Amino acid sequence: MSAPENKLKKQLLEGRVQCGLWMGGGNATLAEISARAGFDWCLIDGEHNPNSDAMAFAQLQAMDGGGASPVMRVASAEDWLVKRALDIGVQTLVVPMIHTAADAVRVAAACRYPGWAQGQGSRGMGAYQARASGYGGHADYVATANDEIFLFVQAESRSALENIDAIAATPGVDGVFIGPADLSADMGYPGNPGAPEVQEAIAHICARVQAAGKPLGTVTFDVNDTPGLISQGFQFIGTGGDLALFAAASRGLAAKANAYKEK
């Protein structure tokens, strides 16, 4: 049996827009609810939220059978972080802080087993007892896994802006994810991704990635931004986050309850 089909990869390569939810809560119940809410994908954030391997593993199990494809953002481009995410069954990865073509080459290799047709894979051969291979049930997993991986690298610095053509052209970089918050901070506009210079940089990255024929990704916490992002060419769009949703709903409910007390 081959590696499971990466349905999200198929949709992205067909040019379809895929909208998802950013998950920072680290909770399997929230992951289960989110995966069945109607999103195309749900992303477990291991960079800015305390999602350990065990927590991510539990969330992936809870999402199994839901309609949303699981995605994970690892904390950094370290090979061992990439390897562990893949072995617990993640097939679509977002890797932050990719500044140069050399960074992109290294992380693309870390996602693939040796023998990869596009380049030198360096992923360790440890999937035989891992969830990714169905605990050995997918006998052809190693031979077919490379084809089902989708790698987004994050362009979120001046260096990435300067090197975007080489990053986007790297074999095994399947898409480029623009991180507007870090990009704006690195450009001298912390907390202001709407600054004209930042928006010009984003437009330039978009144009170069589209010229390379690779899907674009980003995240917003205002779903009303989605039409504009689609018009810019983004296909992989985070439309909100579980913690932001819960925080807003909790505050709203408390405000209503407190208002009733005052009547």
User: Is 99 annotated as catalytic?
Assistant: no
Q: Are 242 and 23 in contact (CB under 8 A)?
A: yes
Phi-psi region of 12 (alpha: psi -120 to 50; beta: other; left: phi over 0): alpha
CA of 115: how far to CAs of 121, 126, 143, in Å? Answer: 7, 15, 9
Distance CA(103)–CA(99), nearest Å, equals 6
CA of 104: how far to CAs of 60, 162, 164, 172, in Å? Answer: 26, 14, 10, 8
The catalytic site residues sit at: 48
